A and B are shown apart, each in its own frame.
Chain A
Amino acid sequence: MSTLLNAVQLQRSFHGRQVVKPFDLQLKAGDILGLLGPNGAGKSTIMRMLCGDLAPGGGAVEICGEDLLRSPIQAKGHLGFLPEHPPLLRDQTVDEYLSDCARLRGLARRQRPQALQRTKQLCALDAVGPRLIRKLSKGFQQRVGLAQAIIHEPEVVILDEPTDGLDPAQIRQVRELILSLAEQRGVILSSHILSEIQATCNRVAILREGRIVYQGDLAPSGEISYRVGLEQNPEPAEIVALAPVAEVERLHTDYFRVALHADARVSELSHLIQERGWGLIELTPEQVSLEQRYLEATTGGEA
């Protein structure tokens, strides 16, 4: 898959204080990358740098092969951005506003009506086209904000807290919309809510005090371990002596967390346990959860 966005050693300081430490970030077509971190971790600053709203203190950003700093106009043509507060012109109607957004994004006159229609349909805004934005509910305003970010069908969509302030039904709609967007493009979204990232993203970057402390797939398959319950309560050393076992950690008296070698099969483990006569009570796959990873990353492993 082609790389849509490539940030290299991007960093930012405010008044001599480095609020975003140098980081690299890549986004490919089909990716939904979640920026996860507590409030004030630097998510919005990173997003503003990625969309050219804020000049970075160092590093470079390429969007679809265009350098954001050297050719900002060409690079921004491939980009749609929804900031934390939707950039709405509240005295306009939804139709006027979205038409202006299409114009701003450089859509030709004949393309605009079609783009407007398609985007309104996608964001479920058909019924509110002639209404003034300031008279819409927060949920609708958020969707108008989302519509302005995608009206020109950009390859890269950056969404800062897209579900903030929405009710559960609206959150679900926005999630579905984001998932449908990522079918053809790359999406970066930020949130401080774990479930939000879990429900939508396939990759995650966890931030702590302006530093990306973890970046990778949401559920890496190589890191599956097993919760094993045994009647006979053997010593961990006995378990680790079994061929497929890489590591053992005792959880309770009869329960262990067992990690296998990369090429080992779990059926082998169950067979060997039966052979030893340890009495298998439980054998459950246990993925490293995002919550576990988030807590480890944001508290420096204290959790």
Chain B
Amino acid sequence: MILQLAWMEWRRLMRTPLAWVVLAVALCLLSWQFLGTLEAFVGMPTETRTLGLSHHLGLQLFGLAAVLLLIITPILTMRSFSDLFRSGAYSLYSSAPVSLSALLLGKFLGLLLYLLLFVALPGGLSLLLLAGSPIDLGLIAAASLGLLLLAVLFLAIGLYTSVLSENPGVAAAGAYGLLLLVSLLDQHTENTSFLHWLAWPSHYLNLQIGLVQTNDLAYFLILAGLFLGLALYRLDRRRSG
């Protein structure tokens, strides 16, 4: 049933103009960044190049992709539950023979399926260079993995705020607030502190430069699992009133 729900969510999303506009705008912005990075790298004197082109792409192209993801995700997730609560369409799911966890995971996977298209964009643009120049495929794969994990985390946070409110606008505002909080927790905190560990930029940075570490993978999965768990708890509480 989870896959059925994921398919329904994905198909529903793909039939909205929003999904295509978001992808088109993201492609334009990422292409602009890609060309800019390329131009800057080519114009750089060879002796001043301390990092390869793949590193530049990992930092700049995938850096912009992370920012775009932060902007896009709450727009996608705000309707997932809030809108259903507000319109009353949630009872379609709550009276169906579907468990709450299957419903939540189905919606999560459906949105992730859509975000996979977005996640593939910077990697796809980078692969275009294969035609004329060698690039570090491992680094691009690691950065793409990082972007995918970031999508998993952001979606979990967005879905959590979506189950908290019947107002999609409030759900989106809540998601932006939480996402910015986990983005900025590493500011003004000790490198070794727990709060610093809770912020995603340093974990993502490692993957951007091709460093795949269990600590970083665990960070994304644990935090995403935590927010999905909280969302499930809220859905159950909602049923109890």
* Cβ contact within 8 Å between B94 and A84: no
Q: Which of these, B11, B87, B98, contacts A90 with CB under 8 Å?
A: B87
Asked if A70 is at the interface of the complex by the 8 Å CB criterion, the answer is no
* Cβ contact within 8 Å between B241 and A104: no
* Cβ contact within 8 Å between A73 and B98: yes
Instruction: Chain B residues near A79: list those with CB within 8 A.
Output: 95
**Contact A91:B89 (CB < 8 A) given known A73-B99, A103-B8:** no
For the side of the interface on B, what is the size category? 20 to 34
Asked if A34 is at the interface of the complex by the 8 Å CB criterion, the answer is no
Q: Which of these, B8, B96, B239, B240, contacts A105 with CB under 8 Å?
A: B96
A216 CA to B15 CA in the complex, in Å? 49
Instruction: Chain A residues near B12: list those with CB within 8 A.
Output: 89, 91-92, 100
**Contact A104:B93 (CB < 8 A) given known A53-B239, A55-B241, A92-B12:** yes
* Cβ contact within 8 Å between A87 and B88: yes
**Contact A85:B88 (CB < 8 A) given known A53-B94, A76-B96, A104-B96:** yes
Asked if A18 is at the interface of the complex by the 8 Å CB criterion, the answer is no
Instruction: Chain B residues near A73: list those with CB within 8 A.
Output: 97-99
* Cβ contact within 8 Å between B88 and A84: yes
**Which residue of chain A has the shortest Cβ distance to B7 in the bound complex?**
A103
* Cβ contact within 8 Å between A88 and B87: yes
Instruction: Chain B residues near A225: list those with CB within 8 A.
Output: none
A72 CA to B92 CA in the complex, in Å? 15
Asked if B189 is at the interface of the complex by the 8 Å CB criterion, the answer is no
A296–chain B nearest beta-carbon distance, Å: 32
Asked if A54 is at the interface of the complex by the 8 Å CB criterion, the answer is yes
Asked if B46 is at the interface of the complex by the 8 Å CB criterion, the answer is no
Which residues of A1-29 have CB atoms within 8 Å of chain B's CB atoms?
12, 14
A84 CA to B88 CA in the complex, in Å? 9
Asked if A256 is at the interface of the complex by the 8 Å CB criterion, the answer is no
Q: Which of these, B5, B15, B16, B95, contacts A81 with CB under 8 Å?
A: B95
Asked if A101 is at the interface of the complex by the 8 Å CB criterion, the answer is yes
B107–chain A nearest beta-carbon distance, Å: 12
**Which residue of chain B has the shortest Cβ distance to A15 in the bound complex?**
B241
A186–chain B nearest beta-carbon distance, Å: 16
Asked if B233 is at the interface of the complex by the 8 Å CB criterion, the answer is no
A194–chain B nearest beta-carbon distance, Å: 26
* Cβ contact within 8 Å between B87 and A101: no
* Cβ contact within 8 Å between A103 and B4: yes
A100 CA to B11 CA in the complex, in Å? 10
Asked if A106 is at the interface of the complex by the 8 Å CB criterion, the answer is yes
Asked if B116 is at the interface of the complex by the 8 Å CB criterion, the answer is no
Asked if A201 is at the interface of the complex by the 8 Å CB criterion, the answer is no
A113 CA to B239 CA in the complex, in Å? 32
Asked if B1 is at the interface of the complex by the 8 Å CB criterion, the answer is yes
* Cβ contact within 8 Å between A148 and B241: no
Asked if B91 is at the interface of the complex by the 8 Å CB criterion, the answer is yes
A171–chain B nearest beta-carbon distance, Å: 21
Which residues of B48-100 have CB atoms within 8 Å of chain A's CB atoms?
87-99
A72 CA to B97 CA in the complex, in Å? 7
A105 CA to B96 CA in the complex, in Å? 6
Q: Which of these, A53, A96, A106, contacts B97 with CB under 8 Å?
A: A106
A302–chain B nearest beta-carbon distance, Å: 33
A89 CA to B91 CA in the complex, in Å? 11
Which residues of A85-130 have CB atoms within 8 Å of chain B's CB atoms?
85-92, 96, 100-101, 103-106
**Contact A83:B96 (CB < 8 A) given known A14-B241, A55-B239, A91-B12:** no
A82–chain B nearest beta-carbon distance, Å: 9
Chain A contact residues, CB within 8 Å of chain B: 12, 14, 48, 51-55, 72-74, 76-77, 79, 81, 83-92, 96, 100-101, 103-106, 148
Can you spell out 23 A-B residue pairs with CB atoms less than 8 angstroms apart?
A12-B241, A54-B241, A72-B97, A72-B99, A74-B97, A76-B96, A76-B97, A76-B98, A79-B95, A81-B91, A83-B88, A83-B91, A85-B88, A87-B91, A88-B87, A88-B89, A92-B15, A96-B15, A100-B8, A103-B8, A104-B8, A104-B93, A104-B96
Q: Which 10 A-B pairs have the closest CB atoms?
A: A87-B92, A85-B88, A81-B95, A76-B97, A87-B89, A77-B97, A51-B95, A53-B94, A104-B96, A73-B97
Taking A72-B97, A74-B97, A85-B87 as given, write out 8 further A-B residue pairs in contact, using a Cβ cutoff of 8 Å, ordered by the A residue number: A53-B95, A73-B98, A83-B88, A83-B91, A100-B12, A101-B92, A104-B93, A148-B92
